[in-house]
Structure 1
Amino acid sequence: MQRPEPYPARAPVAGAGRWGSGWSVADRTRAALAGRPVRRFPPSMRNPPWPEITAFLRSKWERELDYALRKELWAFRGSRIAVRFQYEWHDRTGQWHRSYGNELWDFDQDGLMRRREAGINDTDIAAADRRIFGPRLASEHGLPLPLR
């Protein structure tokens, strides 16, 4: 038996953009609600309550200042979606960083995320080399992320 699609065919494109926009505003509540809820967490975090999730995000955004994220749908089939992402942020010393990589998402028959994996690379950048500023504009949706 084939598993049901968690989204209509075009919905993964919107979903990847929604996650990126939610995280780019560094608003813990909006980020937590930007995508589908995660049903299963690593054993160390079995079904964490929202206060733990927002505490994690608070800690992240206290270190990663002026965080701005872009996600691009790479591929999807059945219950699985792959996205590319890039985000930029600076630390308290003013050093800018770019983090980039790939995420794999797998959804259950109810459309809840059952598994998420990410490979993330980090590099220091000069402020003049930034290319991501604030939430993604509507005019940028669907545009590919630059490779360099």
Structure 2
Amino acid sequence: MPPTPSTPPTPTRPPLPPFDERTALQKVQAAEDAWNTRDPERVALAYTEDSVWRNRDTFVTGRPQIIAFLREKWTRELDYALRKELWTFGGNRIAVRFQYECRDASGQWWRSYGNELWEFSADGLMHRREACINDLPITGADRRILGPRPPAERGTPIPVR
């Protein structure tokens, strides 16, 4: 008897919803770690194929658009380094606040403050992301996010200022 074709299993991205505090914290740290690679293809794997984003005034749908968006972002935002912090969670949703620093091609440093709302599918992939972000020019001497978070600083709250 010939083998019957089977549908490959849908890949999952643990931890899976519903989230508790421990798993929500894991999801937030995994997102921070991935974004700090500045690798659009790697980052996009955390999102569903049809993920929908609102990032500032830009709307993005699907992994190909996510990858294109992130490539352009990290072409403009040089030396990008990010910190995320869990704000709250419930069921399949997580809210975070974040700050990142980067410089532009002219050498001007920026600190960007924001909030994100995340909604996950049952497989642990994010299918909705809404981000509100404000930028503040800073001097190089004002920088405090100097690269990916060292392990000793994980779980440390982000200062508001």
Q: Provide the TM-score with structure 2 as the length reference.
A: 0.77
Does 2:62 match 1:47? yes
Displacement of 1:104: 0.7
- Identity in percent: 54
**Match runs of 1:64-103 below 5 Å:** 64-103=77-116
Q: 1:62 to 1:69 in 2, by over 3 A?
A: same
Matched with 1:143 is 156
Give the letter aligned to residue 144 of structure 1: P
Equivalent in the alignment of 2:40: 28
Give the Cα separation in 1 of the matches to 2:61 and 2:40.
Answer: 20
Q: Separation in 1 of the partners of 2:140 and 2:61?
A: 39
Larger Rg: 2
Residue 112 of structure 1 corresponds to which residue in structure 2? Answer: 125
Would you say the 8 A contact 1:7–1:111 is kept in 2?
Answer: no
Q: How many residues align?
A: 141
**Structure 1 CA distance for aligned equivalents of residues 158 and 49 of structure 2:** 26
Give SS of 1:53's match.
helix
**Structure 2: segments with no counterpart, 5+ residues:** 1-15, 54-58
Q: State the Cα deviation string for residues 49-80 of structure 1 (Å, max 9, x = none).
A: 3xx43332221111100000110111111111
Larger relative strand fraction? 2
* CA apart distance, 1:8: 5.0
Give 1:46 deviation, angstroms: 4.3
Q: CA RMSD in A?
A: 2.2
Distance 2:157 2:102 in 1: 20
What are structure 1's unaligned runs of at least 5 residues? Answer: none
Q: Which amino acid aligns with 1:74?
A: W
Specify the alignment match of 2:27 in structure 1. 15
Q: Decide whether aligned partners of structure 1 residues 11 and 39 sit closer, same or farther in structure 2, where only a CA change above 3 A counts.
A: farther
Q: Is the 8 A contact 1:25 1:134 kept in 2?
A: no
User: Which range moves more in the overlay, 6-15 or 71-80?
Assistant: 6-15
**AA matched with 2:36:** S
- Give the TM-score normalised by structure 1: 0.83
Specify which structure has the higher proportion of helix: 1
CA distance in 2, matches of 1:99, 1:38: 27
